[in-house]
């Protein structure tokens, strides 16, 4: 990893593991510890915000340069040596413990919640980069599960062969579909590979055969990829996920060099998009989280909480 990149990431409060993995405290973890406000993943799916480890095994490796992404750009380089899963997980947990140290003395944070935050029960493999580029991803997920942690994996869908060959799938698998067609895809996702759209389509075709809970995420950016509900619905019908998550773009990180706050849709825009998409698919908006500008779309009566979390 280039020293300039390492310096930028550390300034942004990433804790790095080797040359490719990283952990960072989620905004909603802090809110949960200090103010009792939880993230949409707790409200929709039952994870505990203050016990979530937000990490990535590939912090700056990706096949996309999405305009809406907060990832730092201009430092692309290959990883010389990938760390083993045990090293990555142990280091990320230890880094999280260091990151939450200061909450212990805050009167707004209960001792019980602070203790629990030091023992993650959920791993969000989604912080930055494309995690399916990590060659030991399946083993990493299996290790998390053996240690009693659930896993949510977010991928851009450009490595269908990785998903197909995984011996251990995550508790919940997300694929981000940020465009209704190839033209919009090339404009907003700015693929770094020539066949990114074709690879994403193969992932959507593979999706129904994967035996885990599956979600399609539509990251919505005003003036770029909103509308086209019928075209999105055709893609969603191929994937046949349990849930669909329309989620509004947020003006954070490096995306601020390319976007403006005007590109953030209002929550009502996201709700209306979700309702129109749901009608195309015979689904409906099941839940919403206004402060995250996100809704979850599914079949009426679908179970939206994972038992036991």
DSSP letters for 90-156: HHHHHHHHHHTGGGGG-TTS-HHHHHHHTS-SEEEE-SSS-GGGSTTHHHHHHHHHHTT-EEEEEE-
Confidence tier at 264 by pLDDT (50, 70, 90): very high
Considering the chain, what is the average pLDDT of its residues? Answer: 91
Q: What is the mean pLDDT of residues 239-244?
A: 97
Sketch the domain layout of the chain as residue ranges.
3-298
The pLDDT of residue 74 is: 62
CATH architecture of 3-298: Alpha-Beta Barrel (3.20)
**Is the model's pTM score more than 0.85?**
yes
* Helix residue ranges, H only, 147-294: 160-165, 182-189, 196-206, 229-239, 267-281
Q: Which residues face 23 on adjacent strands?
A: 15, 55
User: Is the pLDDT reported for residue 305 higher than 70?
Assistant: no
């Amino acid at each position: 990893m280039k020293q300039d990149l390492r310096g930028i990431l550390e300034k942004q409060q990433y804790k790095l593991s080797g040359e490719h993995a990283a952990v960072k405290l989620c905004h909603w973890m802090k809110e949960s510890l200090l103010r009792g406000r939880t993230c949409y993943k707790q409200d929709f799916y039952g994870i505990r915000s203050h016990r979530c480890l937000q990490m990535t095994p590939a912090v700056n490796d990706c096949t996309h340069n999405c305009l809406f992404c907060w990832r730092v750009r201009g430092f692309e380089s290959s990883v010389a040596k990938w760390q083993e899963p045990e090293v990555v997980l142990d280091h990320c947990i230890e880094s999280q413990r260091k990151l939450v140290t200061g909450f212990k003395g805050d009167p707004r944070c209960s001792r019980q919640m602070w203790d629990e935050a030091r023992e993650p029960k959920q791993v969000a493999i989604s912080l930055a980069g494309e995690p399916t580029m990590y060659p030991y991803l399946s083993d990493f997920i299996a290790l998390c599960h053996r240690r009693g942690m659930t896993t949510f994996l977010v991928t851009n869908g450009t490595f269908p062969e990785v998903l197909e060959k995984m011996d251990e799938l995550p508790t919940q698998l997300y694929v981000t579909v940020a465009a209704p067609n190839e033209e919009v895809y090339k404009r907003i996702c700015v693929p770094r590979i020539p066949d990114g759209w074709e690879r994403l389509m193969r992932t959507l075709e593979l999706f129904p055969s994967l035996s885990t809970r599956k979600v399609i995420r539509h990251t919505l950016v005003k003036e770029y990829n909103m509308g086209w509900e019928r075209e999105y619905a055709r893609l969603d019908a191929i994937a046949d996920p349990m849930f669909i998550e329309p989620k509004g773009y947020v003006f954070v990180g490096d995306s601020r060099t390319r976007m403006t706050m005007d590109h953030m849709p209002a929550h009502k825009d996201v709700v209306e998009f979700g309702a129109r998409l749901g009608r195309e698919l015979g689904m409906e908006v099941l839940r919403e989280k206004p402060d995250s500008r996100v809704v979850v779309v599914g079949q009426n009566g679908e179970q939206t909480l994972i038992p036991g979390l």
